[in-house]
Amino acid sequence: MCKPIIKWVGGKRQLIKDLKRLMPKKYNRYFEPFIGGGALFFELKPKNAYISDYNKELTNLYTTVRDHSDELIADLCKHKNESEYYYKTRALDRDKKVFAKLSDVERASRFIYLNKTGFNGLYRVNSKGECNVPFGKYKNPKYCDSENIQACSELLKNTEIHNGDFEDIKEHVKEGDFVYFDPPYVPLNATSSFTGYTDQGFDEDMQLRLRELCDHINDIGAYFMLSNSSAKYVYELYQGYTIHEVKATRSINSDATKRGKITEVVVTNY
């Protein structure tokens, strides 16, 4: 049994039952181009999958888990849950020459460590692509979970992993395949945008490109399921497809009174 390796803002663990209920009953290959924490992927454990993301550190993590799990576990166990050590490790990406010298295993190990010990399980970068999440002050964060990493490694051995734009899947998706999209959400208002998981953000042009990709998937006879906010723009953008409403608990709002159950949408072409 394996579970997501990292925590991820907007993760879908709490919506797993809804997503599984809304999936097609049968499909060929599984695709997830905004893999993030991979909650649905690790729940389904597909035997033939293609996952990708624009975030290089994220795709390096999954590739390293797949190909170098023993070395990764050994490196993870060297870390310390201490503030000074955390900020020293976080600062490695401030010097590009130093960061470039890190091995894939060291980068993946750093990624998991920062994710598990950083505040609220965030992974956020500034305009320079530098992680800027403060130390989380947790008593006993589990960043060296060797059993889970080994289990995830076995699952990922049947998975193609790519780094790049979400549209790169276009040439790989065939009739009967299934694609799950979990992009950065359209903000409900001007101040609620959260696009800091890459240094590129995710603007309206990208949302339009994503809609066009969904149209292509539909035209070739494949299936897609897409999660997004309940912003009016999303309903307009996916007019003509089936739009389901689900309830999710979100807690990243700085105003505690605005946290709690909110409506999200799941769009399908079946």
Identity of residue 4: P
Q: What is the pLDDT of residue 52?
A: 98
Taking 70 as the pLDDT cut, the residues of the chain under it are 190-201, 250-259
Q: What is the pLDDT of residue 251?
A: 60
Domains for the chain: give ranges and CATH numbers. 1-54+164-270 (3.40.50.150), 55-145 (1.10.1020.10)
Q: What is the pLDDT of residue 118?
A: 95
What tens digit of pLDDT does each residue of 99-122 get?
Answer: 999 999 999 999 999 999 999 877
Computed over its alpha carbons, how large is the radius of gyration of the chain? 18
What is the C-alpha separation between 227 and 262, in angstroms, rounded?
13
Q: Token pair for residue 64? A: 């390293």
The residues, any chain, with a CB within 8 Å of residue 148's CB and separated by 6 or more, are 2, 3, 5
Angle, helix 69-76 to helix 104-117, in steps of 10 degrees = 50
Query: If you ran DSSP here, which 8-state letter would residue 189 be given?
Result: S
Q: What is the pLDDT of residue 38?
A: 96
- Please report which helix (H) or strand (E) contains residue 210, including its range: helix 204-219
Tally: H helices and E strands in the chain: 10, 7
β strands within 112-202, DSSP E: 159-163, 178-181
Q: What is the pLDDT of residue 11?
A: 76
Identity of residue 25: K
